[in-house]
C-alpha cells in the first residue's frame, strides 16, 4: 500500500469511528463533552498549523476564538443577520485582523513573539469586558440563536455533534493536505531554520503571515460554532488561561501532528472532569503534564505512543528470538 493510500484509509477510519460514536452514547452527557472536544480540536488544529508546522508561537489564540464568538453573537442577536452568513463574515473579519497585525508581530521571534501575541490576546479580552453596550460585558451575552438549515434546528447534543464534527473533520482533512503540500514543506523549513528557508527561495515573511491568517480564520469559525451551540458567551471563556490551554493541547498532542491535536484536545477537555477534586490545582496539573510530556515524549503523545509501540514490538521480537 502506498503512503498516500494508507493516509486516506487512516482518515476514513478515524472519521467513521467519530460518526458512529453517538450511537453508543445516546442520552449521555458525554455526547455534550464530545461536542466541546470537537470545537477544541478545531482550535488545536488551527494553532498547530502555526505552532507545530511554522514554529511560530501564539499566546493569544483565544482572542480569535472570542472574536468569532462575539461577532457571531452580536450580529445575530442585535441585528438578526443570518447566522451562516455571519460565520463567514466573522471568520473573514478575524482573518483580516490577523493579516494586518501579522506583518509587524511575526517579525518578532521567540519570547518577543510570545509577548506580542499575549498582549494582543489581553487587549481583545479587555475589549470584550469593557464594551458593555455591545458585548454585555462581564456577565455575558445571551439569547444567541441556534443554527438551522430550513426547519432543522441544531438545538440538541446529537445534531450539534454532527454539525461540529463534520466541520472539524473537514478542517482536519484540509490541514493534513496543506501540511503535505509545497506550503507545508516550506513551513517546516521555516520551523527548522528560517535563514536556510529563505536561502532556498521561500518567502518566509509572507508565508508566516499567511498561515497566521488561516489559523485565525479557522479559530474564528470554531468561535462562531461555540457561540451558536452554547447560545451564551462570556469573556471569561476567551481569556489568557484559555490561550495557554490551547498551547497545552497542541504540545501534549504532538507538535506538527493533526491527529495529535485531536488527542490533546480530547485529553485536556476530559481531564478536568476527572480532576474536579483538585479545584484550583488543575492548572498545576496541566503544568506537570507539560513538563512530563516534554521530558519523556518530546514529540507529543502521538509520536510518544508510536515509539512506545515500536519499543514494545522490538522487545516482543527479542523475546521470541530468545525463546527459540
Partner 1 sequence: MFKNLFRIIFTLLFFVLLAGAAVAAPPIKIGALFSVSGPASFLGEPERNTAQMMVEQINKAGGIKGRKLELIVYDTQADATKAVQAVNRLIKDDKVVAIIGPSTTGDSMAVIPVVEKAEIPLISCAAGIKITEPVKKWIFKTAQNDVLAVARIYQYMKEQKISKVAILTVSDGFGSSGREQLVLQSKDFGIEIISDETYGPADKDMTVQLTKIRGSAAQAIICWGTNPGPAIVARNAKQLGIKTPLYMSHGVSSKRFIELAGDGSEGIILPSGRVIVADQLPNADPQKKALLSYVNGYRKQYKVEGDHFGGHAWDAIMLLKRAIERGGDSPAAIRDELEKTKDFAGIGGTFNYSEQDHAGLTKDAFVLVQINQGDWKLIK
- Look up residue 265 and give its three cell numbers: 484536545
Rounded to the nearest 10 degrees, what angle do helices 240-253 and 300-323 cross at? 20
Q: Which is nearer to partner 1, 160 or 257 (CB)?
A: 160
- Phi, psi (rounded to 5 degrees) for 131: -85, 70
Q: Which of 7, 129, 210, 303 binds partner 1 (CB under 8 A)?
A: 129
Q: Which of 9, 196, 236, 309 binds partner 1 (CB under 8 A)?
A: 236
Q: Which of 147, 230, 268, 293 binds partner 1 (CB under 8 A)?
A: 230
Q: Which residues pair with 149 in a beta bridge?
A: 152
Q: Is 271 in the site for partner 1 (CB under 8 A)?
A: no
Q: Which is nearer to partner 1, 130 or 310 (CB)?
A: 130
Taking CA 36 as the corner, what is the angle to CA 146 and CA 94, rounded to the nearest 5 degrees?
70
Tell me the closest approach of the beta carbon of residue 286 to partner 1, in angstroms.
13
Strands (DSSP E) found in the chain: 141-142, 148-149, 152-153, 232-233
Q: Is 28 in the site for partner 1 (CB under 8 A)?
A: yes
Stretch touching partner 1 by CB under 8 A, among 15-23, 153-161, 294-302, 315-323? 153-161
Tell me the closest approach of the beta carbon of residue 270 to partner 1, in angstroms.
10
Residue 54's SS3 state is: coil
Q: Is 145 in the site for partner 1 (CB under 8 A)?
A: no
Q: Is 12 in the site for partner 1 (CB under 8 A)?
A: no
User: Measured between alpha carbons, how far is 105 from 113 in angstroms, rounded to an integer?
Assistant: 7
Q: Is 159 in the site for partner 1 (CB under 8 A)?
A: no
DSSP at 145: P
Taking CA 73 as the corner, what is the angle to CA 69 and CA 74, rounded to the nearest 5 degrees?
120
Give residues with Cβ within 8 angstroms of 119, minimum separation 6. 60
Stretch touching partner 1 by CB under 8 A, among 90-98, 104-112, 270-278, 291-299? 270-278
- Look up residue 66 and give its three cell numbers: 472570542
User: Using an 8 Å Cβ cutoff, are 230 and 144 in contact?
Assistant: yes
Q: Is 299 in the site for partner 1 (CB under 8 A)?
A: no
Q: Is 234 in the site for partner 1 (CB under 8 A)?
A: yes
User: Using an 8 Å Cβ cutoff, are 254 and 303 in contact?
Assistant: yes
Tell me the closest approach of the beta carbon of residue 47 to partner 1, in angstroms.
17
Q: Is 274 in the site for partner 1 (CB under 8 A)?
A: no
| Residue where the block lists cell 441556534 | 146
What is the total count of residues that contact partner 1 (CB under 8 A)? Answer: 29
Point out which residues bind partner 1 (CB under 8 A): 27-29, 32-33, 36, 129-130, 132, 137-140, 142, 155-157, 230-234, 236-237, 272-273, 276, 279-280
Amino acid at each position: 500500500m502506498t503512503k498516500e493510500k494508507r493516509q486516506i484509509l487512516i482518515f476514513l477510519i478515524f472519521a467513521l469511528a467519530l460518526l458512529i460514536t453517538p450511537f453508543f452514547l445516546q442520552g449521555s452527557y458525554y455526547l455534550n463533552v464530545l461536542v466541546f472536544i470537537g470545537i477544541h480540536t478545531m482550535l488545536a488544529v488551527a494553532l498547530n498549523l502555526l505552532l507545530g508546522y511554522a514554529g511560530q508561537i501564539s499566546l493569544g489564540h483565544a482572542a480569535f476564538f472570542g472574536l468569532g464568538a462575539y461577532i457571531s453573537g452580536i450580529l445575530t442577536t442585535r441585528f438578526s443577520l443570518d447566522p451562516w452568513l455571519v460565520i463567514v463574515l466573522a471568520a473573514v473579519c478575524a482573518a483580516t485582523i490577523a493579516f494586518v497585525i501579522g506583518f509587524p508581530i511575526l517579525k518578532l521571534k521567540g519570547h518577543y513573539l510570545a509577548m506580542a501575541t499575549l498582549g494582543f490576546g489581553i487587549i481583545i479580552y479587555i475589549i470584550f469586558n469593557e464594551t458593555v453596550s455591545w458585548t454585555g460585558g462581564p456577565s455575558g451575552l445571551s439569547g444567541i440563536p441556534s443554527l438551522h438549515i430550513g426547519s432543522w434546528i441544531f438545538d440538541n447534543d446529537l445534531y450539534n455533534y454532527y454539525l461540529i464534527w463534520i466541520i472539524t473533520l473537514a478542517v482536519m482533512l484540509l490541514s493534513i493536505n496543506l501540511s503535505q503540500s509545497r506550503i507545508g514543506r516550506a513551513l517546516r523549513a521555516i520551523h527548522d531554520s528560517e535563514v536556510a528557508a529563505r536561502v532556498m527561495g521561500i518567502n518566509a515573511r509572507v508565508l508566516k503571515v499567511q498561515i497566521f491568517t488561516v489559523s485565525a480564520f479557522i479559530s474564528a469559525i470554531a468561535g462562531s460554532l461555540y457561540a451558536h451551540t452554547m447560545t451564551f458567551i462570556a469573556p471569561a471563556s476567551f481569556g489568557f488561561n484559555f490561550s495557554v490551554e490551547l498551547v497545552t493541547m497542541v504540545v501534549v498532542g504532538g507538535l506538527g501532528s493533526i491527529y495529535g491535536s485531536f488527542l490533546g484536545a480530547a485529553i485536556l477537555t476530559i481531564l478536568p472532569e476527572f480532576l474536579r477534586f483538585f479545584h484550583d490545582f488543575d492548572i498545576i496539573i496541566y503544568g506537570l503534564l507539560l513538563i512530563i510530556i516534554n521530558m519523556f515524549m518530546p514529540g507529543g503523545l502521538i509520536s510518544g505512543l508510536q515509539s512506545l509501540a515500536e519499543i514494545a514490538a522490538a522487545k516482543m521480537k527479542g523475546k521470541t528470538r530468545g525463546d527459540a
